[in-house]
Amino acid sequence: MSEVMYVTKETLERLKEELHRMKSVDRPAASRAIAEAREKGDLKENAEYDAAKEAQGMLEAKIAQLDGQLAMARVLDIGSIDTSKVSILTKVTITNLKTKKTVTYQIVGEKEADLKAGKISVNSPIGKGLLGKQKGELAEVQAPTGVLKFKVEDISI
């Protein structure tokens, strides 16, 4: 994973807290589970031991992944955002030219995307299609259902 991951300060703090919990709470719990299972006898036929070892392996993989993400994280400052064009952390109001439906999305990093909250990833088809567009411009987005055309109505923070 060599891509820079853009996040807000709040998301960075949440990720750090999650990593801390995994290292300080979940890792010792996994070690205790393995020790308890080991005490129950023959390891060759001990399904509880195998399950505990597998859970520990999955936890270590998650910790390594989160460590990597934090190493590539770059915090974005909302105060330095240029609202003359669509960029990460801007809120963009668009109108679908086919359905005439108007929606507002905030363009965010991959980790913060939440469609129900109106946050779409900068790496999503719509996010990619809107990047760099200015108010009044048309954006053609290649989606799985075909080409969607949007008009950028407004850009704000």
Q: Domain segments of the chain: what residues?
A: 5-75, 78-156
CA distances from 48 to 28, 36, 41, 51, 54 (A): 17, 9, 11, 5, 10
> In the predicted model, what is the mean pLDDT of the chain?
88
**How sure is the predictor about 75, in pLDDT bands with cuts at 50, 70 and 90?**
confident
Is the pTM higher than 0.85? The answer reads no
- pLDDT more than 90, % of the chain: 48
Task: Assess if CATH 3.10.50.30 describes domain 78-156.
Answer: yes
Determine the pLDDT at residue 2: 52
Q: What is the pLDDT of residues 43-64, one digit of tens each?
A: 677 788 888 889 999 999 999 9
Q: Are 76 and 87 in contact (CB under 8 A)?
A: no
Residue 1 has pLDDT above 50, yes or no: no
Separation of alpha carbons 19 and 96, rounded Å: 40
Taking residues 84-97, what's their average pLDDT?
Answer: 91
Query: How many Cα atoms sit within 13 Å of 106 on the Cβ side?
Result: 16
Domains 5-75 and 78-156 share a fold: no
Quickly count: other Cβ atoms within 10 Å of residue 49's Cβ: 21
* pLDDT tens column, 5-32: 778 788 889 999 999 999 999 999 999 9
Is the CATH number 3.20.20.140 carried by domain 5-75? no
